[in-house]
Amino acid sequence: METKHNSLGMAMAHAKCPRCRQGDMFQYKWWQVTKFLKFNKECSACNFRFEREPGFFDGAMYVSYAMSVAMTLTSWFVLYFIVGDPPFKVYIITIIILNIVLLPFLFRYSRVIFIYAFGGIKYEKQLNKEK
């Protein structure tokens, strides 16, 4: 049985290593915005190399772009149907601010989603020492 902490969803939410779901992919929490680019090269628990090959995470750009588009559509939807169609500049300002504010979040989760989806890594349960 998987415990709550090393289920796939929890491991992704906490940006854990895809192989052992124990080590952290990032050195800081996502709200520590000035340090959001600090990325661990290897897993501290199982020494798994996160960057599978040079430029591996370039593909995460597309994930980040898709997330940004989804976010833009959601904010457009909210402004139109819930706020009640404000002036056009409100749309633009809201979307720009959201994209800036959520940049660390997008950066982090685009990489998490990318490595989990395209890294071809199997979860090796025996590496996870948490009971």
Q: Which residues make up the interface to Zn ion (CB under 5 A)? A: 17, 19-20, 23, 43, 45-46, 48
Judged by beta carbon, residue 41 or residue 89, the one nearer Zn ion is 41
HEC letters along the chain: CCCHHHCHHHHHHCCECCCCCCCECECCCCCCHHHCCCECCECCCCCCECCCCCCHHHHHHHHHHHHHHHHHHHHHHHHHHHHCCCCHHHHHHHHHHHHHHCHHHHHHHHHHHHHHHHCCCCCCHHHCCCC
Q: In this complex, which beta carbon is closest to Zn ion, that of residue 17 or of residue 63?
A: 17
The nearer residue to Zn ion, 12 or 45, going by C-beta atoms, is 45
Least distance (Å) between residue 117 CB and Zn ion: 17
